[in-house]
């Protein structure tokens, strides 16, 4: 078998096993509270970013509103735990299913837009969600107090942070496995054709309107899972966590990571979460340095920082 025939899916599963082992190792080794929280937040955001990579990178449909689905996931978990008294597993399942269904329903009308209009439409979606979440106090608690005092995840002698860490590893691997099965299969190839030309995708027999709705739903589900985990981890939060800022951050994670592989999203999430912390030293100039860093990444690594670093690394090795 020649190289191009060996299954990309098999390769992605190997990478997945590697990532899982690495994260498990990190869980055992890292003791600093601060480092733990950074890694947990990176993993949680990765789940949403992997989903967004499917939508933006593979299907070529921009969304500036996925923060809303993260929020829906988070409130779903809070509602299930506090009001319905459901076990955590069911709460998380609901945080996957509900945003998925809402995403599917919203996708048809909103994906009639494309390009800049789609970006604006999804941006509006995110903004509307923020306003609604801040107002529907019965469910969300509004901006003050918001959701407070979700139960601790401490379980069988493991502290809250450790349990969430393991849950996040599991969720991230699940998200990556789902994404890999999609992009390396028939549907993923169809999406890549769709990204280049909707016309060609139709002419090979793909129902593009339906395909776009499906992938929007999948990305919304993963955003919901991410939100559910975020709720479990933070235990207290309000609507301001799911504003337009989060949507843009998620998109940045995808772009900084890589638009063409699902693994880039993990790298991107880590970079976007860690970078502001590294820049603390710049104090007042923090935002400026952050902005400049983003512009430099766009200029010199338009395919994503993750992908570019990977290329440079493999190039060095080959020429050495």
Partner 1 sequence: MTLQATLEIAGVSKSFGGVHAVADVSFFMARGEVTALIGPNGAGKTTLINLLTGVLPADRGTIRLDGRDLAGTPAYMRARAGIARTYQTPQMAQGMSVLMNVMAGAYRFGKHGLLGSLLRPWLVMADNEELAERAGTCLARVGVSEEWWGRPAADLPYGHQRRVEIARALAQDPKLLLLDEPAAGLNRSEADELASLLVSIAADGRAVLLVEHDMGMVMSISSHIVVLNFGRKLAEGAPETIKADKDVIAAYLGIVEEVA
Least distance to partner 1, CB of residue 104, Å: 12
* Residue 196 lies near partner 1 (rule: CB under 8 A): yes
CA distance 186 to 194: 12
Least distance to partner 1, CB of residue 259, Å: 9
Three-state DSSP at 158 gives strand
Least distance to partner 1, CB of residue 200, Å: 5
Which lies closer to partner 1 via its Cβ, residue 133 or residue 301?
A: 301
**Site mask for partner 1 (CB under 8 A), range 215-254, x = bound:** ---x------------------------------------
DSSP 112-149: TS-HHHHHHHHHHHHHHHHHHHHH-HHHH-TTTT-B--
CA distance 41 to 72: 18
Least distance to partner 1, CB of residue 23, Å: 21
Least distance to partner 1, CB of residue 114, Å: 16
Figure out which of the listed residues 202, 244, 248, 290 binds partner 1, where binding follows CB under 8 A: 202
CA distance 295 to 283: 20
* Residue 208 lies near partner 1 (rule: CB under 8 A): yes
Which lies closer to partner 1 via its Cβ, residue 5 or residue 83?
A: 5
Count of other CB atoms within 10 angstroms of residue 311: 12
26, with CB counted inside 10 A (0-12, 13-18, 19+), is middle
**Site mask for partner 1 (CB under 8 A), range 146-185, x = bound:** -------------------------------xx-xxx-xx
Closest by CA to 289, choosing from 305, 277, 299, is 277
* Residue 189 lies near partner 1 (rule: CB under 8 A): yes
Which lies closer to partner 1 via its Cβ, residue 27 or residue 202?
A: 202
User: What DSSP state is assigned to residue 31?
Assistant: -
Count of other CB atoms within 10 angstroms of residue 280: 8
* Residue 3 lies near partner 1 (rule: CB under 8 A): yes
Least distance to partner 1, CB of residue 37, Å: 31
Least distance to partner 1, CB of residue 147, Å: 30
CA distance 134 to 189: 40
Figure out which of the listed residues 114, 238, 240, 260 binds partner 1, where binding follows CB under 8 A: 260
Residues that bind partner 1 (CB under 8 A): 2-5, 7, 9-10, 177-178, 180-182, 184-187, 189-190, 192-193, 195-197, 199-200, 202-208, 214, 218, 260
């Amino acid at each position: 078998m020649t190289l191009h025939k060996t299954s990309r899916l098999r390769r992605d599963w190997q990478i997945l096993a590697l990532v899982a082992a690495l994260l498990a190792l990190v869980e055992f080794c890292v003791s600093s509270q601060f480092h733990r929280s950074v890694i947990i937040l990176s993993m949680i955001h990765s789940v949403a970013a992997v989903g967004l990579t499917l939508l933006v990178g593979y299907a070529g449909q921009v969304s500036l509103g996925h923060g809303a689905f993260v929020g829906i996931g988070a409130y779903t978990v809070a509602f299930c735990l506090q009001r319905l008294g459901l076990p955590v597993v069911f709460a998380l399942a609901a945080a996957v299913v509900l945003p998925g269904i809402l995403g599917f329903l919203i996708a048809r009308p909103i994906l009639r837009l494309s390009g800049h209009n789609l970006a604006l439409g999804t941006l509006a979606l995110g903004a509307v969600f923020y306003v609604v979440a801040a107002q529907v106090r019965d469910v969300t608690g509004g901006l003050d107090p918001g959701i407070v005092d979700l139960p601790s995840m401490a379980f069988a002698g493991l502290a809250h942070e450790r349990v969430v860490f393991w849950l996040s590893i599991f969720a991230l691997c699940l998200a990556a496995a789902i994404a890999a099965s999609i992009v390396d299969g028939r549907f993923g190839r169809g999406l890549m054709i769709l990204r280049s030309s909707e016309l060609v995708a139709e002419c090979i027999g793909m129902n593009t309107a339906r395909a776009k709705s499906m992938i929007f739903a999948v990305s919304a589900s993963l955003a919901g899972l991410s939100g559910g985990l975020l709720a479990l981890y933070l235990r207290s939060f309000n609507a301001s966590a799911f504003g337009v800022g989060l949507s843009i951050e998620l998109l940045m994670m995808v772009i900084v990571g890589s638009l063409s592989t699902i693994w880039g999203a993990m790298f991107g999430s880590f970079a976007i979460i860690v970078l502001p912390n590294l820049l603390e030293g710049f104090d007042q100039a923090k935002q400026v340095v952050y902005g400049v860093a983003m512009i430099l990444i766009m200029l010199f690594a338009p395919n994503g920082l993750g992908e570019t670093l990977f290329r440079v690394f493999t190039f060095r090795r080959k020429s050495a």
